[in-house]
Amino acid sequence: MASSREIADWGVFVSGRFWLAGLMGFAGGVPLLLTLTVLQAWLTAEEVDLATIGFLGLVALPYNLKFLWAPLIDRYDPLKLGRRRSWLMVSQCCLAASIALLGLQDPLESIWNVAAAACVVAFFSATQDVVIDAYRRETLADSEQGLGASMYTYGYRSGMLVASAGGLILADVVGFAGVYMFMATLMLSMVLVTVFAPEPADVKEPPASLTTAFIGPFTEFFNRRGVSWSALLVLAFILLYKLGDNLASHMTIPFYLDIGFTNTEIGTVAKFFGLAPLLFGVFVGGVLNLKAGLYRALFIAGILQGISTLGFAVLSVMGDDLWWLAAVVAFENLTQGMGISALLAFMAYLTDKRFTATQFAMLSALATLPRVVLTAPTGWMAGVMGWLPFFTMCAFVAIPGMLLLLSFKSWIHDSDDTPIVT
């Protein structure tokens, strides 16, 4: 007979909080590519020079700096609807307005107005991400964080697909201004989700002052367990956990082309075919966290990530064989999805509910740092080392992260806390 704990665990699949994670993920995914892929396509169609288009990639900077204003989200309840629902309402309404504003700009008349409007969209999008992460953390039990991350990722990817693929198709019918007006309306409709979503019930009191809101999350994190260097180990683990995977992934397209695959083969196998294993891996990671515990999920996903990176080394020897490409891509994307789910659950586990928004924003910014900054020299490294040694090195980069995980194994326990929102 199933235990009450098992029933509660599996019950998350039919709970409102589980599906809310997906809907909020969709809301988070829609605006992201409106300042990247869709904006680049629009500017290219308007014959804006490539140097300017490249420079406008900096409008995404708010996503890496969101921890700077996250304390305000922990501290204030601007609409008196509860801190999470209030900030969701504010960010979503401002997002709808700023997306519409971006669509009204004329790139040929003033590229700076386009850049400013895109920055505003990115700012409110990053703000919404902070609130969504905090909401998911506060409405799901520790054991459910992995599955919550899975559902959130599905929603996020769906939102990105609607905005990018849907937006580009729609642009041929109504033009880019029409695309941004449509996406603004879609973003505004997400307010309905916020209206009907329950505010997390069992949360800590907000920080008593701005000083506490800004300083408290960091002092609490670094003084936890009374040993500040222990916090540094955790931060180092988050930085290193997916580093090898990020280094390898950054150079896959040049690698595929160099060993003889065509653009069509890469697009069909590496991109289209690889999506299903990625999404399945996210789900597997969530289930693994639910049934085996967070530590085992992190450990298994980490080991498999390192092994999958070695697949690229094997492919460098096998050459342009489509079956090997499909196998390597499928396994790598599967383990990448497992790692995403486990790492998101771990970051949620680390947050103190007095400072959920700020600490999650800090940790997620650190987790994305390798992809944004540390991958910069990979082209030089691959050129000097060659593909086989390069991908072998990337696989072994996983080892320091796994050793760090072993060092704080005792800190991670299988939580029996119950869901906060039914």
Q: Within a 10 A sphere around the Cβ of 154, how many other Cβ atoms?
A: 18
Do 192 and 218 belong together in one domain?
no
Predicted confidence at residue 9, as pLDDT, reads 55
Question: Which of the listed residues 174, 196, 218 is the one where a domain comes to its end?
Answer: 196
Predicted confidence at residue 373, as pLDDT, reads 67
For the segment 365-414, what is each residue's pLDDT rounded down to a tens digit? 888 776 666 766 777 888 889 999 999 999 998 899 899 888 877 666 54
- Enclosing domain of residue 230: 210-411
Residues 85, 91, 93, 95, CA torsion sign: negative
The yes-or-no verdict on residue 114 having pLDDT over 80 is yes
Predicted confidence at residue 15, as pLDDT, reads 66
Pick the residue with more confidence: 303 or 138? 303
For the segment 201-237, what is each residue's pLDDT rounded down to a tens digit? 767 788 888 888 888 888 888 887 665 677 788 888 9
The yes-or-no verdict on residue 182 having pLDDT over 90 is yes
Indicate the pLDDT class of residue 164, thresholds 50, 70 and 90: confident
* Angstrom distance (rounded) from CA 169 to CA 157: 17
Task: Provide the mean pLDDT of the chain.
Answer: 83
Q: Is residue 263 domain-resident?
A: yes
Residues in contact with 120: Cβ distance below 8 Å, sequence separation at least 6, in sequence order: 98, 101, 102
Do 187 and 267 belong together in one domain?
no
Residue 140: name the closest of 203, 189, 182, 214 by CA. Answer: 203
Do 289 and 379 belong together in one domain?
yes
CATH for 79: 1.20.1250.20
Segment 92-109 mean pLDDT: 94
Alpha-carbon torsion, ordered 132, 133, 134, 140, to 10 deg = 100
Question: Which of the listed residues 169, 196, 223 is the one where a domain comes to its end?
Answer: 196
Predicted confidence at residue 13, as pLDDT, reads 57
Do 173 and 222 belong together in one domain?
no
